[in-house]
Structure 1
């Protein structure tokens, strides 16, 4: 018997995916998923379109979880700082403090994207910064994948991955940092907005520096509700360590594909969240409602 299939980490074109929000819903339905969470970076702009897609095309029992992925600054537990990502679910997007911070983050991301594009154009790359920015959805924060796709379309690189490896990744020549939300503040803001938070891919060493188990324990003490265990960038050793940590700290274990459409070679639904984990997360939320 096939179990319930839930993907709690999906991106659309409202941030750095290639599917529209409606397209992401259709992809989830085509993949046979029973639920998905739309978690675009620092925006809830795609919620209404995704909800309408569920109403127009959804099958009985399919559920949409409104969410977002928030970029945050955290201690790495080793004396330094690192960017971490919080998956925030079922919060009230009109919460004043949260809305103000999301607007700031979107402006930060868009400004950074434009500056990176201008630097590349000045160095002779076939990039048009004005066209790049004009092509973003109005409420999209934009991000490096948009610039990476422009480089692919210009024939400069063969893939988004190559663009990051050669030019846009953390240690590449055109990378620029950004000012993220302190993670404790983000956890608190989401809770005050009636939502709940899950730490995304915390042991994904392929992405760069990670946090220690002690940092996750501290975040749990500050209201973090769950931890993403089953993720494409976690090997089995990382998954096992996180399962043990989640059990020890009482954190909800989740899983998600981190689907980005054609920007990544990872299919939607490739990782799953247990049904009981979704139920536990829903118990905490009063800010928004699940759809379906």
Structure 2
């Protein structure tokens, strides 16, 4: 059983539509895929309508959080998407994305980079505009060769020359909100140091004590030693250890199913969730 619990569609910053994503997941031989777009659940309906027979969809989101000045992402699975408190917090984060992206465009212009707001909007399409869309604009202009190369101190990384902060949720509050909505939380790529500063293990321990369910150990931004260390940490803290691709379509080099989650861990996630249930495919169009 092959399970990928971290993917993105055009509902946020992926390049595959939700329908194309689930079809691609089936073609890649996955049995279970989670759609975890940034701070939004807008891709659910399209994905469910297109869900191929034999593929199960886990609904989720990747929540933007910040702890002691460090940006971090929290994967939330199988929560009630209409629960008012969590919905309001997600909307607050999303609503701040547009003025933040506009401010980054302005900073780039001041640095002599001719990115335009119209260009960023075209790249974002129907998705929630964010840093990856600004990064893609830099690639289009030939400023950097890849999206990943835009996330440096020279450009868009935390504290970079064109970086602008946005509203991000306190992760302890995010864990509380997701739990109240019947969901399960997993700390995404907790040791991805090439993205910027990471939180210490003591913070992960505190989050575990507050109800965090797991950490994403197997991820493209973790080398073998880091993956082993995170698995050991998960064991010490009584956390689940997951593996996922963090697929973004053509915006990143990772492929669906590049890393996967153990079926027993997936089973425990579904047992803990009460806000929603995995959706089995019925052969969507």
TM-score under structure 2 length normalisation: 0.92
State the match for 2:65 in structure 1.
72
- 1:203-242 alignment to 2 at 5 Å? 203-242=191-230
Q: Is 1:149 matched up with 2:136?
A: yes
Which whole-Å CA distance do the structure 1 matches of 2:50 and 2:70 have between them?
A: 36
The answer to whether the 8 A contact 1:105-1:141 is kept is no
Deviations 1:171-230 (A, max 9, x none): 431111122101110000001111110011112222221122221111111111111111
Alignment CA distance shift 1:265-1:128 (3 Å): same
State the match for 1:162 in structure 2.
149
**What is the root-mean-square deviation of aligned Cα atoms in Å?**
1.7
The answer to whether the 8 A contact 1:67-1:88 is kept is yes
Give 1:127's match in structure 2, choosing from 115, 119, 123: 115
Deviations 1:52-84 (A, max 9, x none): 110xxx132x11100000111224xxxxx3111
Which whole-Å CA distance do the structure 2 matches of 1:27 and 1:47 have between them?
A: 16
- 1:1-292 alignment to 2 at 5 Å? 4-54=1-51, 58-60=52-54, 62-75=55-68, 81-133=69-121, 136-137=124-125, 140-165=127-152, 166-292=154-280
2:115 aligns to what SS in structure 1?
coil
The answer to whether the 8 A contact 2:13-2:248 is kept is yes
User: What is the number of residues matched between the two proteins?
Assistant: 279
Deviations 1:116-171 (A, max 9, x none): 11332355433221453366455x43111111222222334332223333422224
Deviations 1:11-40 (A, max 9, x none): 111111111111211221111111111011
Which whole-Å CA distance do the structure 1 matches of 2:48 and 2:261 have between them?
A: 20
The answer to whether the 8 A contact 1:88-1:195 is kept is yes
Structure 1 spans left out of the alignment, 5+ residues: 76-80
The answer to whether the 8 A contact 1:190-1:196 is kept is yes
Structure 2 spans left out of the alignment, 5+ residues: 281-285
TM-score under structure 1 length normalisation: 0.90
Deviations 1:87-117 (A, max 9, x none): 0001111111111111110011221111111
Which whole-Å CA distance do the structure 2 matches of 1:210 and 1:164 have between them?
A: 15
